Amino acid sequence: MTFYVTTPIYYVNDVPHIGHAYTTVIADVLHRYHKLFGDDSFFLTGTDEHGQKVQAAAEKRGLSPQAHCDELCVRFQEAWEDLNIQHDVFMRTTYPYHAKVVQECLQELFEKGDIYAHEYEGWYSVSEEIFYTEKDLVDGKSPMGKEVTKISEKNYFFKMSRYQEALIAYIEQHPQFIQPDGKRSEVLGFLRQPLQDLCISRPKARLSWGIEIPFDKDFVTYVWFDALLNYCSAIGLKQGPERQKNFNHYWPHTVHLLGKDILITHTVYWTTMLMALGLPLPKQIFAHGWWLNEDGGKMSKSEGKVVSPLDMKNLVGTDPFRYFLIRETVLGNDASFSPHIVVNRINSELANNLGNLFSRITNLVEKYYDSKKPSEHGLLPQTKSIQELALTTAHKVQQEILNMAPQAAVGAVIDLLSATNKFIDEIAPWKLVKEDKDKTGECLSVCLEVLRIAAILLSPVMPEKCASILSQLGVHGTPQLADAKVWGRLMDGAEIKKGEILFPRITLP
Ligand code: MSP
């Protein structure tokens, strides 16, 4: 299977925060799961570098916009390195090849009659870089509550309205196209109103930092029109036969992940642009929820309540932080964020469950079996049920990932680990070993197999910790799902290494 996952490309001016980290970690985890399944997976993230806000910020710093972007995009690159993100491409809209693709697309749509010039009067929100009509405004502000100013100018428009009916029909015929279902209904609701054409230019007199419109040198391209095309330019659209082959390979096996705030730009602007360009629509547009403060309020920059992902990572470690982001909430739902919530989740599921199981078992194997894996003899009634649970868990994880439910995938592994901890408590190997070494050995051997399977299944979420579990069990090489679907891969007598505590309990300062 071919899988192409994208995050939004982030505004280069922003300081990476929990929201950016969230989308990026989900994408990374899905990408790594698909690789675990043996799929051909490609993962794009990057930065959105044109527009008024970037131009203004560069001016303020006395830098050229390009120098400003070159400097700032590094913050994202470093943040993703710190969170162990394995993207295949870090896309930047200031790459010259991207500008060429955008210009070719504009030219094509202009020649086709899908772009036209028009004298325009309306309201503009600088912070969102979006035009509104009079009737869009709510109490004199944008629907998102942002300040707007009135402007009147010539601009170029994309005939978005021409594709409205086709888009509605497509969404209705493809229930999986926009997910979750609630968001799909929201978009269909939005499309019940007549769709306005989209203003896709900005006069250079007002904004020069953008991609020049190929048929009118006095204008640059509207940032969203430019930015959305990155998903196609990055993989080779309109760059010659070789690159086109790559494009055709990954497109449209695409899942766009994004926050619900940018649902309409993706489901309406982007999809109608693709329709106009005669390109197939992506497989899925998936909107995730928001991280809220503990009191349910939005984590907004203006309130100074935005959490830096790197601070959190420094507090709890990269893998546990990644685990938290995936495990805490169903993809699509909002969730609360606070250091306490993070630490409780990590202590209860990683320290007390997985970490505790691993240290109990490796200690006992070292102490009573000379650090060698004991054998199974078919002596314990529970062995079979744990075995079956482990193997069905591997299938369940795969199914949940294909359903875009990583939280449930991880939950299935946690259930397996809880059942295994319960099994040890029942058997009490630390007592039984004095009476029956074969039965005890079987109990430990079963637990070691569970740990091997669990570590494979959790490796996309916690790559480093799982690699360390597997290596202590003597398993080397790239983890693969196929190995988690088979019981008994650990050899009797294999050396089991007891390591440092995997997940030390965290106490907040
Ligand atoms: N540049 C545009 C996207 C262009 S894509 C062609 C943009 N950039 S952004 O820097 O604002 O990034 C937004 C991403 O971060 C969105 O997916 C958004 O939902 C996410 N988040 C920002 N704050 C968030 C939370 N508090 N919680 C979860 N995600 C949120 O929009």
pLDDT tens figures, 298-325: 776 555 566 777 788 888 999 999 999 9
Give CA separation, 464 vs 199, 370, 471, 479, in Å: 47, 27, 10, 12
Q: Which among 285, 251, 290, 294 has a CA at the least distance from the CA of 266?
A: 285
Could you tell me the domains of the chain? 2-288 (3.40.50.620), 346-484 (1.10.730.10)
257 C-beta closer than 6 A to ligand 1: no
The backbone torsions φ and ψ at residue 288, rounded to the nearest 5 degrees and listed phi first, read -90, 170
Mutate to test the pocket of ligand 1, among 5, 7, 12, 48 (most ligand atoms within 8 A of CB): 48
Q: What is the pTM of this model?
A: 0.94
For residue 45, what pLDDT band results from cuts at 50, 70 and 90? very high
- CB of 9 sitting under 6 A from ligand 1: yes
Ligand 1 atom index nearest CA of 23: 17
Whether residue 299 has its Cβ less than 6 Å from ligand 1: yes
Weakest-pLDDT range from 66-70, 122-126, 474-478 = 122-126
Q: Which residue has the least CA distance to atom 24 on ligand 1? A: 19
**Lowest-pLDDT range, 2-11, 90-99, 144-153, 494-503?**
144-153
Interval between CA 383 and ligand 1 midpoint (Å): 47
- Cβ–Cβ < 8 Å for 489, 452: yes
Please, is 431 exposed, middle or buried when counting C-beta atoms within 10 Å of its C-beta (0-12, 13-18, 19+)? exposed
- In this structure, the residue with its CA closest to atom 20 of ligand 1 is 19
Confidence (pLDDT) at 121: 85
Of 31-40, 201-210, 383-392, give the lowest mean pLDDT range.
201-210
Is beta strand 40-48 parallel, antiparallel or unpaired with respect to 2-11? parallel
What tens digit of pLDDT does each residue of 62-120 get? 999 999 999 999 999 999 999 999 999 999 999 999 999 999 999 999 999 999 999 87
pLDDT at residue 387 is higher than 90: yes
| pLDDT (tens digit per residue) in 397-413 | 999 999 999 999 999 99
Mean pLDDT, the chain, as a whole number?
95
Q: How far is the CA of 49 from the centre of ligand 1 (A)?
A: 14
What is the percentage of the chain residues whose pLDDT exceeds 90? Answer: 87
pLDDT score recorded for residue 303: 54
Averaged pLDDT for residues 153-170:
97
C-alpha 48 to ligand 1 mean position (Å): 11
CB 386 within 8 A of CB 322: no
- pLDDT tier at 363 (50, 70, 90 boundaries)? very high
| Predicted confidence (pLDDT) at residue 19 exceeds the cutoff of 60 | yes
Atom of ligand 1 nearest to the CA of 228: 6
Token pair in block for residue 35: 């690789």
pLDDT digits (tens, 9 = 90+) for 489-500: 999 999 999 989
Residue to mutate (ligand 1; options 258, 302, 308, 331; most atoms within 8 A of CB): 258
Contact 42, 235 (CB under 8 A): yes
**Closest ligand 1 atom to Cα of 227:** 6
